[in-house]
Amino acid sequence: MNYFTDRTMIFRDMGIFEKAQIDFLTGFFLRESFGQFLEKAMREATATSGVVTLALVDLDHFKNFNDKFGHDFGDEILKYSASTIRLTMDENQTYFFRYGGDEFIVVFAGKTQKEALQLLKYCRHNLLHRPFLLKNKFQKITMSIGVASFPHDAQTVEDLIAKADNAMYYSKRHGRNRITMWSSISHLKARNYFILFGTLAIMVLSTFVAAYVPPIKESIMAFIGNIKELRKVSFDKIVLKSGAVFEGRIVNEDATTIFLQLNLKEGEGSLKLDKSKVSKIIRAKSR
């Protein structure tokens, strides 16, 4: 039994065979039969305490391909992409629909989001690494995918489609070539806000450090100077315009700079001071 015969028989069993027509371009079922099929699948999932996971797939930059190479080339991309999707996920209880233009829907009857996500990751990888050859040049094709499930995310056909669609557009807005589960969007938004505010906080902190760390450093050095154990000799004293006071021995100076040797409780230290920041120099009476 081939692929299409197998699935048309399933549609017949569901009582909607007459609407389960095949899209000649992709080999997927047409959109007209999708709503009735999904409603039936959701009813069966309710009766068996099962799940239905829905993936809405949109090819990235498809319009650009059409505009650049023409609609015939666009049709070839649709067929190539559809065959990749079908070959990757051709399993029992997995159904494919052409939803419109370059959008496809994959229905995973009885599969959880986690199970469907794994298959979709394989599919995205296969399409990306199966480039399309046109006039001796490979064209990479990627897709953005949104995923939602019944009954976890939605209770009606309309709501389930809407949430998968929202998740797909989230993938589009955040870089394309990615898969987004509707249930994870709030977490992703919170993470993005955290990254944004974290970046802003770093920028503010950097501005603060640039503006205030030098005065803070001078104050710390002044504090160290105040708690040092002075030797029983007199020292040079330098008073900064900021009010900080340093004591030690002036070992060298020129027109712009003073080099001061500090006498601290634990050993010695040296300090280079800008004369433009100095308010007063009190030199020791004796050396």
Based on the number of CB atoms within 10 Å of its own CB, is 48 exposed (0-12), middle (13-18) or buried (19 or more)? exposed
| Amino acid at site 136 | N
> Average pLDDT of 78-87?
92
Judged against a pLDDT cut of 60, whether residue 35 lies above it is answered with: yes
Render pLDDT for 247-269 as a digit per residue (tens, 0 to 9): 888 888 888 888 888 765 555 67
Q: Which sign, positive or negative, has the C-alpha torsion 67, 73, 79, 82?
A: negative
pLDDT at 189: 65
Cα separations in angstroms, 20 against 14, 78, 106: 10, 20, 15
Q: What are phi and psi of 282, to 5 degrees?
A: -110, 110
* Cβ(149)–Cβ(53) below 8 Å: yes
How high is the pLDDT of residue 182?
Answer: 92
Q: Report all structural domains of the chain as residue ranges with CATH numbers, in order of start.
A: 3-194 (3.30.70.270), 197-282 (2.30.30.100)
Q: What is the pTM of this model?
A: 0.63
Q: Return d(Cα 44, Cα 13) in angstroms, integer.
A: 13
> Does position 41 have pLDDT exceeding 60, yes or no?
yes
Q: What pLDDT, in 10s, does the model give residues 162-190? A: 999 999 999 999 889 999 999 888 777 67
Does residue 234 have a pLDDT over 50? yes
| Of 113, 64, 52, 57, nearest in space to 84 by CA | 57
Q: Answer yes or no: is pLDDT of 3 > 60.
A: no
pLDDT digits (tens, 9 = 90+) for 213-228: 566 656 666 655 554 4
User: Residue 121: what pLDDT?
Assistant: 92
For the segment 22-34, the average pLDDT, to the nearest whole number, is: 90
pLDDT category at 235 given cuts 50, 70, 90 is confident
Tokens standing for 135? 């006039």
